[in-house]
Amino acid sequence: MRALVRETTLSPGDFILPLFFSATCKEPEPIGTMPGVMRLPVSAAAAEARAIKDLGIGGVILFGLPAQKDPEGRAGYDPDGPVPRAIAEMKSAVPDLLVMADVCNCEYTDHGHCGVLRKRRDGTMDVDNDATLEILALDALAYAKAGVDVVAPSDMMDGRVKALREALDAGGFEETSILAYSIKYASGFYGPFREAADCAPQFGDRAGYQMDPANAREALREAALDEEEGADMLMVKPALPYLDILARLRDRTTLPIGAYNVSGEYAMIKAAAAANMIDERRATLEALTSIRRAGADFILTYHAKDASRWLR
Ligand code: PBG
């Protein structure tokens, strides 16, 4: 009877698994801050795609670690970079696997910020929003050419959804969709990811472009702007500390919504489980169910493989 009256479902097809492809590693490399998550060489992409398909997972989102970084993040749109190559390998191994690519400069810039820098009049540095848009558009085009289904801008520059849509359409990629990281907070829960992707900012922080955790109305405004600019799907990130935002957005938009169960949320469960403080399986499935209950259609989560096995 409980099953009959259950209001929220959770299944492997709801999950998007984030993957890190590195230009320099030869073998899968464990990531210290994220137990169970590996940096992968592109040579592992096809087998990974098949394993993910076999588990019934809804799709993947790719991040890249380039061989070289520079102030503009040019490695992000190198067609021979780890992300375009991994996209092509995964799509040719499993053509119906949904492949997304994160679009951001922070993995590719030597200073670790999500855009190119400029000097303010007072001599301090900040991110140049509009100059960054041009680079993001080149990134999105490079991933579209490699065969990606969805580009997901996570940089938080203003106007980037419109810039990406225009660049994709002009390049003949009208069918490439945009999943906008619309509501992305300046969060302490990204710490483990920054080690994984080697993208911690070398000075300052991301509060100039990511959102203040205290703001909810601003979140709805950010989402409305992305919707107007042509986003096909919206995202809330992180997930668990912002379930209220997810629920409010669900009431406001008819677009599909994703939620990013980020690295710090994952690491907390892993660490507590390793210390025998909680039951990993129970806590994980409860957390993921709560994200669906709050209104997410799909969840980007590092728990995707384990949770999919548990849900079989
Ligand atoms: C890139 C990006 C980040 C994450 C996803 N895309 C890092 C950041 O904004 O600092 C974080 C994901 C996670 O913590 O799992 N801008």
Determine the Cα–Cα distance for residues 138 and 274; give it in Å rounded to an integer: 42
CA of 300 to the centre of ligand 1 (A): 12
Tell me: pLDDT of 14 over 90: yes
Ligand 1 atom nearest to 262, measured from its CA: 15
CA of 190 to the centre of ligand 1 (A): 6
Q: Whose CA is nearest to atom 10 of ligand 1?
A: 190
Residues with C-beta less than 6 Å from any ligand 1 atom: 102, 104, 106, 114, 154, 190, 193-194, 206, 262-263
Per-residue pLDDT tens digits for 225-244? 999 999 999 999 999 999 99
CA of 196 to the centre of ligand 1 (A): 10
**Domain boundaries along the sequence of the chain:** 12-311
Find how far residue 143's CA is from the centre of its chain: 14
**DSSP type of residue 61:** E
Q: How many helical (H) and strand (E) elements, i.e. helices and strands, does the chain have?
A: 11, 12
| pLDDT confidence tier of residue 198, bands split at 50, 70 and 90 | confident
Burial 227-243 (b: 16+ CB within 10 A, else e): bebbbbbbbbbbbbebb
Catalytic amino acids? 184, 237
Per-residue pLDDT tens digits for 289-306? 999 999 999 999 999 999
Per-residue pLDDT tens digits for 86-135? 999 999 999 999 999 999 999 999 999 999 999 989 988 899 999 999 99
Determine the Cα–Cα distance for residues 89 and 83; give it in Å rounded to an integer: 10
**Fold classification of 12-311 (topology level):** TIM Barrel (3.20.20)
Q: Whose CA is nearest to atom 11 of ligand 1?
A: 190
